[in-house]
Amino acid sequence: VLASARSGARFARVAVESTIPYARHLEEQVLPNTGRITAAAKGLLD
């Protein structure tokens, strides 16, 4: 939505672009979590 609106707002992807694996340990690696969200937000501030 932001990209199509050309708002100029910066954004970051914290989820995967493909399907989520079924195995629990793989799910935990691809689902957004506090650490990934925080790192993405800090990256946008730099």
Report the SS3 class of residue 46. Answer: coil
Listed by start position, the domains of the chain span 2-45
* Res. 1 pLDDT band, cuts 50 70 90: very low
Q: What is the dihedral of CA 39, 40, 41, 45, to 10 degrees?
A: 100
DSSP assignments along 1-40, one per residue: -HHHHT--------S-SSPPPSSHHHHHHHS--HHHHHHH
Q: What is the pLDDT of residues 8-41, one digit of tens each?
A: 777 788 777 788 778 888 888 888 889 988 998 8
Q: What is the pTM of this model?
A: 0.57
